[in-house]
Amino acid sequence: MNTLNFLKKIEINSLVDFRGSLDVAELSALNDFVVKRVYYISNVPKGEERGAHAHKSLKQVFFAINGSFTLKVTDGVNFDSVQINAHSYGYYLPSGFWRDLSDFSQDAICLVLASEFYDPTDYIYTIDEFREWRIFLENS
C-alpha cells in the first residue's frame, strides 16, 4: 500500500538492451520545479547518515543512480519513509520538511536535483528549531 504523505513518486522508464541501461524520468508533474543545482552523494561509509536538516524553501528530487538508500521525511508530526533504489523510482520532496538519509549501500550514489542555488540560510539544523518553525508558520 502506498502510504506516502509528503513525498511524490517519480516514475523512471528503464530502457535496457545489450548496450546497457538508459533510465529516464520526466518531471512534467512538478509544475513549479525548475532545476538550478545538481549534486550527488557517494562513498558513504556503512552506518553513516546524511541530511539531518530541513529546508525552508528548497524543493528537491532524489534518485539513486546506483545502489540504494533510505529517505525519511517528517513535518514534525507525520512521517514518510522510502527505500530509493537505482532503476526504480525517484521522489520529489517539497519545501519545509525535515529529512534523514540512511542505510546507504556501499555502491550507492544519491543524485539530488535542487530548485535553488546553495544557500546556507535556508537550512534548519535541529529538530526542535524545525518544530518551532512549523508551529510559527501554521499560526501566522
Name the minimum Å distance from CB 76 to ligand TYD.
18
Question: Does 39 engage in binding with ligand TYD (CB under 6 A)?
Answer: yes
Place of cell 513535518: 75
Among 50, 56, 72, 131, contact with ligand TYD (rule: CB under 6 A):
50
Cell numbers at residue 112, please?
539530488
Question: Does 40 engage in binding with ligand TYD (CB under 6 A)?
Answer: no
Distance CA 40, CA 29 (A): 23
Distance CA 115, CA 59 (A): 5
Residue (16 or 34) nearer to ligand TYD, CB: 34
Which of these ranges, 6-14, 22-30, 34-42, 74-82, lies near ligand TYD under the rule CB under 6 A?
34-42
Cell numbers at residue 22, please?
538508459
Going by the DSSP 8-state scheme, the letter that residue 25 receives in this structure is -
Question: Does 125 engage in binding with ligand TYD (CB under 6 A)?
Answer: no
